[in-house]
Every structure is written in structure tokens, then in C-alpha cells.
Homo-oligomer: A and B are copies of this chain.
């Protein structure tokens, strides 16, 4: 029995959903705003998102994609053109109908009836239709292709049940939109974006993912193919962490994205879109959080090292602060993971121990405490967030390197932690993917069994479509299960379909999902 007194009230193993909420609050990442379905992203949560933005944006730019910005408001007419698309989004769109407020007779404000818009505007739920308009203007000739654009933006989908970072009415994301001469080029871009997301998730976020194609019923409204990266959370559920869609000529037809081809004829462009959102922050929490709060992989940590001088509101404080500032500057001169090391000297009021636990809950990778005796001895007290406890004593596992030793040890710890967190998550994920279940009863039994947090099951299937697929989806739904994706790197099929009994053609992941 461990004597460790963890920093959170709720354990993951007891109530994962409550634990998730507690981490967000304890790590000071976000809170409900009071505006229906919208959250406030607080500085620590937003700092992590900014790091994600920076690292993903570098990858986007390196692929020759250019950032641009398109209107927040989309005319209804744009949606009317693509039937499947509007079908998918019409039920959850915020609609602007007026452009002025006036006082009512009770001292309040109401939309001014005299300022009603002739045509209501929709707050973008995604921008295929408005960017399609621009593409139709910008694409005259094959020489203008490929056209590769990306936008960092807020979007709104009027969700009825919301959950911070995972499903909010307003969320932040990037949406890539590209146009190509032909299907082959467009599909290649679809796969490039997918691979970019895989690398971003694994190398930057330390979140292992399975890249694969979504089944027909899970496609983006209006897409020909939808591909995703799926991550396993610590409760065994799947989180779709990024998607890449081959849209065929559907949106090009709707927005009239035509160009003069190499033979002088007129052709429709093939378009692609791909997106990653603030949902990834939720995925980060549920991948790397533990019973002491969040653990932020060093690549994403707004501060990789936090230095806490023990202050006593005495004149000697200035000496210890100067010593710590020197240490801070020494660490900041190092590079780790290709960037200057990010280190904060925290001199805010408060007791050192209380501040330590605040930073533990926030998940700062390395915490360095410096007391008067440390300073005298020229050492620091160093705590790794990924190895917080000494199991034997039940106490925090402080290391005490000499100051100069710390300067070289810290960058090594950070680099090691980045790969260590990925390896830990990958091992857990791999241990929780079950293969070899061959019939629906066994599948239901597995998810209905003793495991509180069952993982994923990879089954063989005959890839039914249309009504036959609907039946499979319905059947799975009764067990709260969903089809995730057909992994790119799955073994070939060699058996029968777990749902239909027909010969299997490929393997698909089945899981509970966020």
C-alpha cells in the first residue's frame, strides 16, 4: 500500500470524468465562462495551446501551406449549395439576424427590429464554403494549383452537451484547405496532412495515435474520404485528435472552383481539408495527466522549468533571488528540443511548498527549489514531474545536484521526459488494444466485462456500406461502441467479418469514444 498522498482529490481509477474536471481546475487551465457552451481558456491552458500552434504552424509552413484569414460570417446561400454539408451542420449553427441593439421599455436591450439583416449570416462552423468562394476566384489556370491555404480561427457549433476542451460551442482550431489539379494530387495532400498530424501528435504532444480511414458513417459531411488520427485516453476511450478529408469535386462543384487545365479545357479542382483543434488539449490531459494533476510534455510546456526560491520576507531574500536569477539565466542559455529552454523564476508571494504543489498540478516538467542552505552549499533541490514520488518513503523524489551539474542535467531530463512520456503512453495504448475477437457476442462481452476502462478492439470486417453499415453502427451503439478507423498499418484481413460473418476485407478499430 503506497503511502503517497496525491495532489488531487479524485483518482483516475475512481471517476475518470470527475478527475478530468479536477485537473482542468487544479492546473488552472480553463473554466466555464457563464456564456452557454463557451469556456474561458486561462493562461496556463492557453499557453499550452500556443505551443501546439507554434509547433504545428511550423510544420504547416514547412509543407508550403500559406496562412490567410477568411470571414467569420458565412451567407446562408453558401450552405445551400452543398446538400450533405448543410445537412451535417444546419442543426448546430449560431445565426446572426440583427446588426444593432436598442433599449426596450424595461431598461434592457433588444435586437433592433429596424436593423434586421436581409439575409441572416451564420457564424462559421467550418470554412469549406467561404474558402471555396475565394478559391474559385484565385484558380484560373493549372499554374495556380496546388493552392494550399490554412487558417487559425475560432469556429462555432451549437453543441447541446459540452465538456471543456473536448466539446464546446466555440472552439479554436486550424483548418487547412487545399485545391489540386486531380484526384491523385489531392489524395496525396490528404495523406500528407494525416502524416503531419501523426508526427505532431507523437513527436510534439507525446500522444501516440493510430492513423487510418474513417468508415463511411463517420465521414465529414460532404467528404469522399475522411482520415483520422485516434488516440487512446487513460480510460480506454478513443479521442479523434485530427482529421484530413478528401472532398473530391463536391465542394469545387458547389463553389465553382474551375481552372483551365494543361490541355486548355475547363476542369473542376479536387479539394482537401484538414483540421486540429483545442480538443488536443483535452487529449493531452487524458493522456499524460496523473493523480497529481497534469504532466506537460516539455515540447508543449509554456515553462519547462520553474525555479522557486524559498523567501521569508526578509532582507536576505534579495540574495537568494539574485542567485536564482543567475541560475535562470544559465538554464535559459541552453537549448532543448531545438529551442531555447523556457524557464521561469517564480517570485510571486506565497509559501514555497504551496507554490511547489501548484506547479506540480500544472505539470511543469521540472521544479527547482532553492533554500538558503542550498545556496550556501551550491546545490539545488530538483523535482521531475514524471518521477515525482519516492515510492519507498512516499515523499517527493528530490534530487540534489550541484548548481553547475543542474545546468547540464536539466536539458537532458527534459529531452528524456519528452520521449519517456510518449513511450509510456504508447506502451499503455499497445497493451490495451485487443485482437482476435471474432464474433459480436465476444465483442459485447469484452466491453461489458469486468474491466472498468476497457481499451480498443481491432476486429476484421467485410466493410459493409449503406444500410448494412447502418445496422452494424446501430448494433454497436447499443453497447455504446463506435467504429474508429481502419488503421493504415493494420495486418491484412485473413478471417471473417465479426459483424456479418462474410469474408473480411480489412481490420477496423472498435471503441468507446469522446
Asked if A40 and B67 make an inter-chain contact with CB atoms under 8 angstroms apart, the answer reads no
Are A72 and B134 CB-contacts (below 8 A) given A93-B101, A95-B98?
Answer: no
Asked if B94 and A73 make an inter-chain contact with CB atoms under 8 angstroms apart, the answer reads yes
Asked if B72 and A43 make an inter-chain contact with CB atoms under 8 angstroms apart, the answer reads no
Q: Which of B46, B68, B90 touches A43 (beta carbons < 8 Å)?
A: B68
Asked if A170 and B110 make an inter-chain contact with CB atoms under 8 angstroms apart, the answer reads no
Contacting residues, chain B, for A71 (C-beta < 8 A): 33, 35, 38-40, 170
What distance in Å separates the Cβ of A287 from its nearest Cβ neighbour in chain B?
22
Contacting residues, chain B, for A46 (C-beta < 8 A): 66-69
Most B C-beta atoms less than 10 A away, residue of A46, A67, A109, A137: A109
Could you tell me which residues of chain A, from 29 to 77, have a CB within 8 Å of some CB in chain B? Answer: 31, 33-35, 38-43, 46-47, 49-50, 66-76
Are A101 and B90 CB-contacts (below 8 A) given A35-B74, A68-B42?
Answer: yes
What distance in Å separates the Cβ of A361 from its nearest Cβ neighbour in chain B?
17
Asked if B100 and A110 make an inter-chain contact with CB atoms under 8 angstroms apart, the answer reads no
Tell me what chain A mostly uses at the interface: helix, strand, loop, or mixed: mixed
Taken together as a complex, chains A and B put the C-alpha atoms of A137 and B76 apart, in Å, by 38
What distance in Å separates the Cβ of A420 from its nearest Cβ neighbour in chain B?
28
Taken together as a complex, chains A and B put the C-alpha atoms of A96 and B156 apart, in Å, by 12
Indicate whether A336 reaches chain B with its CB closer than 8 angstroms.
no
Are A41 and B69 CB-contacts (below 8 A) given A90-B101, A90-B102, A95-B101?
Answer: yes
Contacting residues, chain B, for A469 (C-beta < 8 A): none
Asked if A97 and B99 make an inter-chain contact with CB atoms under 8 angstroms apart, the answer reads no
Interface size class for chain A?
A: 35 or more
- Copy number in this complex? 2
Indicate whether A314 reaches chain B with its CB closer than 8 angstroms.
no
Asked if A86 and B109 make an inter-chain contact with CB atoms under 8 angstroms apart, the answer reads yes
Asked if B33 and A134 make an inter-chain contact with CB atoms under 8 angstroms apart, the answer reads yes
Taken together as a complex, chains A and B put the C-alpha atoms of A173 and B112 apart, in Å, by 27
Contacting residues, chain B, for A80 (C-beta < 8 A): 107-109
Contacting residues, chain B, for A259 (C-beta < 8 A): none
Q: Which of B67, B76, B107, B133 touches A47 (beta carbons < 8 Å)?
A: B67
Taken together as a complex, chains A and B put the C-alpha atoms of A95 and B108 apart, in Å, by 15
Nearest B residue to A109 via CB reads B76
Could you tell me which residues of chain A, from 175 to 201, have a CB within 8 Å of some CB in chain B? Answer: none
Indicate whether A359 reaches chain B with its CB closer than 8 angstroms.
no
Are A100 and B111 CB-contacts (below 8 A) given A35-B74, A170-B71?
Answer: no
State the A residues within 8 Å of B (CB): 31, 33-35, 38-43, 46-47, 49-50, 66-76, 79-80, 86, 90-102, 107-111, 120-123, 130, 133-134, 137, 143, 149, 153-154, 156, 158, 170, 172, 348-350
What 8 new A-B contacts, CB under 8 Å, besides A90-B101, A92-B100, A101-B122? A35-B121, A46-B69, A73-B94, A76-B109, A90-B109, A95-B99, A97-B111, A154-B154
